[in-house]
A and B are shown apart, each in its own frame.
Chain A
Amino acid sequence: MTAAARTPVGGPRRAGDHAASAHLSADARARAREVIALYPHPRSALIPLCHLAQEEQGWLTPEAMVDIAGLLGVTPAEVLGTASFYDMLHTEPVGSHVVSVCTNIACLLNGAAELLEHAESSLGVNAGGTTADGSITLEESECLADCDRAPCVQVNHRFVGAQTPASFDRLVADLRAGARAQDIPDHGTLVRVRRTTGLQADSTTVAAERAAMAEAQAGRAAAAEAAKTAPEGVGGHP
């Protein structure tokens, strides 16, 4: 299929479509600092912070990426460069419900291609597109690891079980009517359970433990020196 044939009917919305400020709120920035404190190096918080920005704004705005860069001490280009690698980080607006239809092998064997075709015609968008009302973005996804309920569908990364064309239409109607708001929050909210505690092993303890560890391990290393067997390199599929 050519690129032209897959242009979304609804057309991508642009950052300017949103009236509200696309910068992170004070609350989000405070939460971001708590997340950063969990890691030995701030940059490790990059992906969690992108999720945090999406939770607030539904997608990853250029302004939010600037804020994240400032919080982490990297450049906005580094944030974009990382974010653009990952399927779940949207650098363009998406609908309030991102509906992912898996068509990988286990789902393909169970009618996923037919389901996706139905979804496209029923929603009036091709995979990758957003409906004109901004409520649904349809995605064709790779394996979502729910293969005993194939063809597998997720809405905002929540599993909704195997779908038939008829049940898919009911699902979309429910989403539009807000009937699933309880179990499926708007797009961007990935984790509704927040961490309730910061790190507890204080730096003195950690330093003491590491010193003791190094000493113990030096002893073991000396003991193991005789029976030294260099492990062969092995692969492993990712």
Chain B
Amino acid sequence: MAVTAAPKIVTSRLGHADSHTLKRYLASGGYEGLRKALAMTPEAVAHEVDTASLLGRGGAGFPAGRKWAMLRKAPVTYLVINGDESEPATFKDHLLLERDPHQLLEGVLIAAYALQVTQAFIYIRGEFALALERVQAALNDAYAAGAVGSDIFGSGFSVDVVVHPGAGAYICGEETALLESLEGKRGFPRIKPPFFPAAVGLYGEPTVVNNVETMSNLPWIVVNGGAAFAALGGGRSTGTRLFALAGHVNNPGVFELEMVKTTFSDLIHAPALGGGIPHGRALKAFIPGGVSAPWFGPDRIDLPLGQDEVAEAGSMLGSGSVVVMDDHTCAVRASWRITRFFARESCGQCTPCREGSGWLERIMRRIENGHGREADLGLLLDACDNISPGLDWPPQQTTICVLGPSIPSSIASAIEMFRDEFLVHIKEGGCPYG
């Protein structure tokens, strides 16, 4: 079954042209979740989120309830929303920020109440000019409506929300780099441990960092109950999730689907979803969860869209973005472009990532351009192994953050699947795809 009858949890308003306005939001049950939450104890609200088993939608898939539970051990000071969506081919938070900013705000306010924080920051990727305007406008309207600020809806609870623009750096999606950036510094990830900002976060204070999509689920969870959310999906992957489909498909876009119930094949081929591959071509490979994820071949197409299911098959659902490559795609060129992205976005703190990404990019570029050498495939894998020994999945950590160790995954999987294609590039001195 391609599309289940599961309710649309975060995309219910997107059919309306004015989905970003307070008027539309209030007309469709907006801020009812916040009103309901404010009538509950903070602990009861947190309990609903725990019951929902909501996995974080940013990429790591850590349970939001557990993240919050860590904070309940120490006084929480700040709530920070990660809206720095920059993982290549991921464009779901972009949609939520631009098209339903009040839903995000309501989620933020519910989380702020559950955690009893008095200041929250929404960090939005700088390149999202329209999203920054829409969220700021929504915030202004929410302040005017008494939904945010002092004594929200007469409940006695007060919280301020600040919209903070980024300025263009992929690494700021990493939560500790994001906090550095929010402190007005270069986006350098922080040394771990501590692994979680719950211990040492913004300005060294306990902080929770949650993704935009994660927050956008909260109004529905509070209104309908955590159990209703947990009843959707399967296994650890509860609820619905946004999947961003791009590349060689007839109908690219963002689709809200019940977790686990849909397969990659459905997502790519179903007429109501991806609509198949253009020009009647065949599938060559697909990337299941952002470019940090190892590639899959057509043999994995029947895997369900579930976090654990994809992990067991040797990759990750990550940020929920799926890139489809047809059989006319040059695997060398595609994996080279991904490598160049990492080389450009490496923050430069750690040697394996800073130097390794540059080496890999140059070797792959010369293979693609027809100047590859016999020994280059071995050299590539050797350099990959130096970045993350063993080339396992999940990759071994050698650096402060996971950017570096994610670099070899696409290369190693591309070489494993398309070794012949790399060899043709080297032996014939050029790209067979032109």
Interface residues of A (CB under 8 A from B): 38-41, 43-48, 50-51, 72, 74, 81-83, 85-89, 100, 103-106, 108-110, 142-148, 150, 154, 156-159, 190-197, 199-202, 205-206, 209-210, 212-214, 216-217, 220-221, 224, 231, 233-238
With A45-B184, A88-B127, A237-B402 known to touch, is A143 a contact of B174 (CB < 8 Å)? no
One of A89, A197, A236 near B62 (C-beta < 8 A): A236
Query: In the complex, which residues of chain A have a beta carbon less than 8 angstroms from the beta carbon of B175?
Result: 236
In the complex, 16 of the A-B residue pairs with CB atoms within 8 angstroms, ordered by the A residue number, are: A43-B185, A44-B183, A100-B127, A104-B89, A104-B337, A105-B337, A109-B248, A142-B86, A142-B344, A144-B127, A145-B90, A150-B246, A197-B140, A200-B143, A237-B59, A238-B173
Query: In the complex, which residues of chain A have a beta carbon less than 8 angstroms from the beta carbon of B184?
Result: 41, 43-47, 72, 74, 82
CA distance A205 to B127 in the complex (A): 35
**What are the interface flags for B71-89 relative to A under an 8 Å C-beta threshold, 1 for contact and 0 otherwise?**
0111111000000011111
CA distance A103 to B344 in the complex (A): 13
Query: In the complex, which residues of chain B have a beta carbon less than 8 angstroms from the beta carbon of A109?
Result: 246-248, 323, 325, 329, 334
Determine whether the beta carbon of A238 is less than 8 Å from that of B170: yes
One of A85, A105, A144, A201 near B118 (C-beta < 8 A): A201
Classify chain B: how many residues form its interface, as a range: 35 or more
Determine whether the beta carbon of A236 is less than 8 Å from that of B58: yes
Residues from 56 to 74 in B contacting A, C-beta threshold 8 Å: 56, 58-62, 66, 69-70, 72-74
Stretch at the interface among B29-37, B103-111, B129-137: B129-137
With A205-B158, A238-B170 known to touch, is A156 a contact of B129 (CB < 8 Å)? yes
CA distance A220 to B181 in the complex (A): 32
CA distance A236 to B289 in the complex (A): 12
Residues from 232 to 250 in B contacting A, C-beta threshold 8 Å: 244-248
CA distance A201 to B78 in the complex (A): 14
When C-beta atoms are compared, the residue in chain A nearest to B335 turns out to be: A105
Query: In the complex, which residues of chain A have a beta carbon less than 8 angstroms from the beta carbon of B116?
Result: 209, 212-213, 216
Q: Is B338 an interface residue (CB 8 A)?
A: yes
Determine whether the beta carbon of B66 is less than 8 Å from that of A231: yes
One of A51, A220, A231, A238 near B401 (C-beta < 8 A): A238
Determine whether the beta carbon of A50 is less than 8 Å from that of B149: no
Q: Is B366 an interface residue (CB 8 A)?
A: no
Query: In the complex, which residues of chain A have a beta carbon less than 8 angstroms from the beta carbon of B195?
Result: 231, 233-234
Query: In the complex, which residues of chain B have a beta carbon less than 8 angstroms from the beta carbon of A46?
Result: 184-185
Determine whether the beta carbon of A238 is less than 8 Å from that of B403: yes
Query: In the complex, which residues of chain B have a beta carbon less than 8 angstroms from the beta carbon of A197?
Result: 140, 143, 149
**What are the interface flags for B195-217 relative to A under an 8 Å C-beta threshold, 1 for contact and 0 otherwise?**
11000000100000000000000
With A213-B76, A236-B58 known to touch, is A199 a contact of B160 (CB < 8 Å)? yes
| Residue among A109, A154, A197 with the highest chain B CB neighbour number at 10 A | A109
Determine whether the beta carbon of B319 is less than 8 Å from that of A142: no
Determine whether the beta carbon of B126 is less than 8 Å from that of A82: no
Q: Give me the 5 closest cross-chain CB pairs, A-B, nearest first.
A: A236-B60, A87-B168, A46-B184, A238-B174, A86-B167
Query: In the complex, which residues of chain B have a beta carbon less than 8 angstroms from the beta carbon of A206?
Result: 118-119, 158
CB distance from B36 to the nearest CB of A (A): 21
With A147-B252, A201-B118, A205-B150 known to touch, is A158 a contact of B73 (CB < 8 Å)? no
With A150-B246, A201-B160, A231-B70 known to touch, is A106 a contact of B196 (CB < 8 Å)? no
Determine whether the beta carbon of B318 is less than 8 Å from that of A217: no
CA distance A145 to B89 in the complex (A): 6
CB distance from B122 to the nearest CB of A (A): 12
CA distance A201 to B184 in the complex (A): 23
CA distance A103 to B184 in the complex (A): 29
One of B73, B193, B248, B337 near A224 (C-beta < 8 A): B73
CA distance A165 to B116 in the complex (A): 53
Query: In the complex, which residues of chain B have a beta carbon less than 8 angstroms from the beta carbon of A190?
Result: 126, 129, 132, 165
CA distance A38 to B120 in the complex (A): 11
CB distance from A42 to the nearest CB of B (A): 8
